Structure 1
Amino acid sequence: PRDEEHLRSVAAYIEKLVTHYSRFPALRGWVLINEPGTGGEIPKNDFTRKRYEKWLQNHPLKEFTEKGYPILLDLTDQTFLRDLNTWYLQWIADEIRKHDTIHELHVNNHAIFQNCAEYDFPSWRNFLSHLGGSAHASWHFGYFARQQYALAMSANSEIIRSGAGHLPWFMTELQGGNNTYSGFAPMCPSPEEITQWLWILLASEARGGIFWSLNPRSSGIEAGEWALLNFQNRPSDRMQAIAKVAETLQSRPDLFTGLQEAESGIHLLYVRESLWAEKKMAGGSAQNYEARNPGGVMKSILGYFEALSELGINASINAFEEFDFSRNNYAGTVIILAHQIAIPSRYATLLEHFVSHGGKLIVEGLTAYFDENLHNTMKTGFPFERLFGGNISEFKLTDNLFEIRIGNNTLPAHLWRGIIAPGTGQVICTFRNEPAGIRNRFGQGEVVWIPSLLGLGSRIQEDYGPLIAWLQMEVKENITSFPVRFASPQKNILMKTAKCGEKYLSIIVNKSTKTREIPLIVWNREYLPGMIFASGNGRVNKYRVKIHPEETMVVLFTKKGY
């Protein structure tokens, strides 16, 4: 809102709107705001200025750290913006509930890879009925090439799934048709892409997806665009593809009601302070280094997600606050902190609890370079030294790509190389005779710390083979115990596996340009495969699938006797 008068007018509008439409049986629920978020910028108006001043009374700016070091930069503005977004959504929800206590409340988030730090999903659960998102490839998948859009949909879904927590979720907006003058990367989704996106959503526990839009607009910047129907109101090839998926769902309600994503126990955590810090600090470079541009933090996470996807392994993407640190047994659970450059010092206690109770923590890149005050603590008392098993001597900008050898694996790394001053940690790799990685036993768990950007380096090199080989050693139990996986890494092939009772459902998508024959490994050989959907002429023969370019296959694994 611009000011108090504007806020009152919004309340009056909500009253008129809700009291009118809540009477109609066609109404399912209310979307509080379409695609909330400001891109990290605080609105410049009188209302926000006054609210910021009031907020600062309860969150006063600090001039010095607890150890007496001056705070010259901070993230206060971003913390306020997160709280402002949450307050306004809560306010709208409360206004709706004054007039309608029955219908559902929903929010669809957009550009999730750029905006997720603004979204306090755990707080939103208190007033939402379900969570959603907008995943328009032409607007929101700028970190990916078109060949990777199915992978982008998978990662987008993981962030929303984690944010929803105990609430159901669905993808509120999917691109249904052509771009003419809209979109950052204009395209027209193919029927094959539409099919891929839908099945990926379902394997990620989504209740479904809604396409924008059925009919084309007649005027405005999207005139004649985005639609599933053509100008003669006939179904497009994309609409026909949706119908085929819907027919399969309707034919097997026993399978598709209550699908749950199969969990590997691997969690890729993003820390919102890291995304805020990058936005504030990253100013690009003459060499256009990826890690010097906004996006390096998220792309580092995506590197690990993409690597595990080539194995057919599901990995969760969670905000740090969304991970459950209250348990007393984390055996079999892995957290990966990939280049999370700013971590609040108070998180050290939570991570120590996780590792000491059996968890495994993999740390890479410039993780914990800053604290929540953008203060470099590696010089002034590193809060993670006991847990990590050492400190950093210094970071050196080495090259756009350089190699780190860990055991028998040589991994590409990007830009910076951390030189470790080991404490309790045991050196597991060196670079020019300087410690480049350590392993530290801590309680019942362990920490592996490689302060170089392995995920982003692999992504830049477009080769996840070495990273996968290393992960196969470090998270071996998580991989080998997963219900269904590829027998070997499969570049440009995606698989997501979900569970329904005693059955498993694997969605396999071929984004390569060639027909592929892929052997699968099933954890329990009592499970036998059978195909229930193929968008092409794919086949499954025992534990081997034949899948054509751009094809989607859905394979059901059923235990003998069921």
Structure 2
Amino acid sequence: YRDHPALGQWILWNEPTGGHERTEESLAHWRRWLPEHYGGDIDRLNRRWLTGYRTFSEIPFPEEIPYEAHRGHVWNSYGPWLADWQARAAWLVEELAWVRDLVRDIDPDTETCVNPTAVLKNQAESGTDLDGIGRVVDVIGATYHPAWGFTFADRSQFPALMAAGVRLQASLPSVQRVEVTEVQSGNTLNSSHRPCDVGSGEIARFFLSGLAAGAKSVTGWCLNVRSHDFEAGDWGLLDDMDRPSERSRMLRRVHDRLAVALEHTGAWSQSEPRAWVAMDSRSHAIEWVEASGRAAVPGRLANDGAHGAALLAVGLMQAGISTTLTPMDNLPDRAPAAGFVALTHVVGWDSTVVDRLLSFVGSSGTLLLDATSGRKDLDSTLHRPWPGGLAERIGLRATGLRTRPEGYEISLHGLPAGRWLLARLTAELEADAGWEAWTEPRFSLDGQPCVWERPYGRGRIVVARGMLGPSLVHAPECLPTVTHVLERVCPPIPGSIHPVGGHPATDVVPIDVERGELAAVFAPDSIDRDGKPIRLHMARGEYLDFWTSDVIQVAADGEVTLSATDGIALLWRAPSSPLSA
């Protein structure tokens, strides 16, 4: 294929993961990797693992380390498993680099890519080091088949989740460019966890949301249906007779409208974030170990941190706020105007990140953390006091959690507002630290406040006493409460484009362009909104909607309604020239 004119990219490995294979080769890698990880010090390993090995070469896989009667028991040391995921991730990076080098011997020029699936999920469980993968390839992609990967979310949130995944990958230091390598482009019946079709408006939103978030390209998985065996008739962009469909016709419209938009705006790029939500694979590792071999309890499942962070990011995007998911070490230490950082169910972190967090807050930022964030360090040792490294410096020392399997009912202005999962934070507050309780929301059980806040430097720190992200995953009826919290800690900037009037499924993705100002708005199809228009608040003036070619005048009150039949608007305000399309 090297000289074929259709070759645009080498995908080194389709949907790679650092899997759990147990082979002679993987055991040899494990025994090679451990001395590097522990600096050649077998005593250091033994102290952490509570073992008595004489050499690294005799160490078996983690599941074989305990006595036979103890295997699979929850009381075993976490140490081997916290090492296991890193070893698997490192081996995957090594294997990808090996494949890349083979390709480079044949073709030194064509770009390389891989498309991992573990983006908005527990990356430790799947042995996925996105930053390490980014060092190997020219382009890092991803596979987004919502019927497989987004079953934790409402269907209306799928486009925003794709945008969140793109922005997460783009935030990593090693990553040069991001693409969406595979996106669902047809119906599913036999495959996936939650079979579903994809409508024409949805497929347009899937493609446009990835591009708006900064992906350099978005690709549908297949143009023709499979005709044999498993998945026969599934996934196709065309119909089952291999003819054009409403979906393929919609992609033609996407192409045509993008051509018009790019002619006016120039190149698109990801907008600078105003808000960051932490998603850290090292914290995921602790969640994964603690979820393994235990009852499946919402609030302590392996993916609760990752899925919860993703849904919290979606909530911010639904307020029109440019938001990025990123690991803890990538969080900024200086706040932009009205800058915001959220830590939800980040169960473990290293205390060295605290200086960065407090520098961000001190420079006028807002920090939000919830009840289960910062309990442990990255070796799964309890911070005392916790949250780790923050407790003494902010005058809030967690004394524990109070757990109820049914969760905690919440009231907002005296009305039921859902529940927060499983646990409630108890803490000692220093009298002179400036902490104050919010008057709303409240725990229905005893009327206690759900949120505490204090000033810090030029910014503020806000502590929610329950699990925010995991509650969105497993108790979505709490959405009004979480939305209330987000609106107070990170309100829209005046004049920015954001939904108003109770449209929780409408999200806005600002886009940096060479000319003028552009924002993409995504909402469910009109039929799924019962024919209701979407209402936006935006700066007064004249806008061009590239999707419909309509010129929109925003009146003095700063509000406008759009029919948005396909659930799409591409709103552009020109620098100073007349508008036309």
TM-score band by shorter chain is 0.7 to 0.9
Report if aligned partners of 1:105, 1:129 keep a CA contact under 8 Å in 2.
yes
Who is 1:53 aligned against? 31
Deviation at 1:266, TM superposition (A): 0.5
Is there any run of 5+ residues in structure 1 with no aligned partner, and where?
1-20
CA separation of 1:227 and 1:395: change in aligned 2, threshold 3 A: same
Who is 1:273 aligned against? 282
Who is 1:341 aligned against? 347
Post-superposition CA distance 1:6-45 (Å, at most 9, x none): xxxxxxxxxxxxxxx212232112111111114xx43211
Who is 1:496 aligned against? 509
Who is 1:8 aligned against? none
Whole-angstrom CA distance in 2 between matches of 1:25 and 1:302: 39
Who is 2:55 aligned against? none
SS at match of 2:120: helix
Deviation at 1:515, TM superposition (A): 2.4
Who is 1:377 aligned against? 383
Deviation at 1:461, TM superposition (A): 3.8
Structure 2 residue corresponding to 1:101, chosen from 98, 108, 115? 108
Whole-angstrom CA distance in 1 between matches of 2:413 and 2:202: 40
Q: Which has the higher strand share?
A: 1
Report if aligned partners of 1:196, 1:552 keep a CA contact under 8 Å in 2.
yes
2:9 equivalent to 1:29: yes
Who is 2:134 aligned against? 125
Who is 1:365 aligned against? 371
Post-superposition CA distance 1:325-381 (Å, at most 9, x none): 5xx665642211011112133333433443344433211130011211111123699
Who is 2:77 aligned against? 72
Whole-angstrom CA distance in 2 between matches of 1:164 and 1:175: 28
Who is 2:488 aligned against? 473
Who is 2:360 aligned against? 354
Deviation at 1:264, TM superposition (A): 4.7
Who is 2:498 aligned against? 485
Report if aligned partners of 2:309, 2:344 keep a CA contact under 8 Å in 1.
yes
SS at match of 1:48: helix
Who is 2:298 aligned against? 290
Counterparts in 2 of 1:368-447, with a 5 A limit?
368-378=374-384, 382-398=388-404, 400-403=406-409, 412-423=419-430, 425-429=433-437, 432=446, 437-447=451-461
Report if aligned partners of 2:366, 2:489 keep a CA contact under 8 Å in 1.
no
CA separation of 1:422 and 1:409: change in aligned 2, threshold 3 A: farther
2:221 equivalent to 1:241: no
Structure 2 residue corresponding to 1:167, chosen from 152, 158, 176? 176
Deviation at 1:404, TM superposition (A): 5.9
Q: State the TM-score, normalizing by the size of structure 2.
A: 0.81
Q: State the TM-score, normalizing by the size of structure 1.
A: 0.84
Comparing 155-164 with 83-92, which one deviates more in the overlay? 155-164
Whole-angstrom CA distance in 1 between matches of 2:183 and 2:15: 13
2:506 maps to a residue whose letter is I
Comparing 185-194 with 545-554, which one deviates more in the overlay? 545-554
CA separation of 1:106 and 1:275: change in aligned 2, threshold 3 A: same
1:554 maps to a residue whose letter is L
Whole-angstrom CA distance in 1 between matches of 2:387 and 2:251: 56
Deviation at 1:445, TM superposition (A): 3.8
CA separation of 1:93 and 1:458: change in aligned 2, threshold 3 A: closer
CA separation of 1:454 and 1:258: change in aligned 2, threshold 3 A: same
Deviation at 1:399, TM superposition (A): 5.3
Deviation at 1:204, TM superposition (A): 0.8
Post-superposition CA distance 1:373-425 (Å, at most 9, x none): 11112369943323443211110113534256799999742210010112364
Whole-angstrom CA distance in 1 between matches of 2:183 and 2:173: 18
Number of residue pairs matched by the alignment: 527
Report if aligned partners of 1:365, 1:452 keep a CA contact under 8 Å in 2.
yes
CA separation of 1:231 and 1:42: change in aligned 2, threshold 3 A: closer
Is there any run of 5+ residues in structure 2 with no aligned partner, and where?
39-43, 49-74
Identity value in percent = 20
Q: CA RMSD in A?
A: 3.2
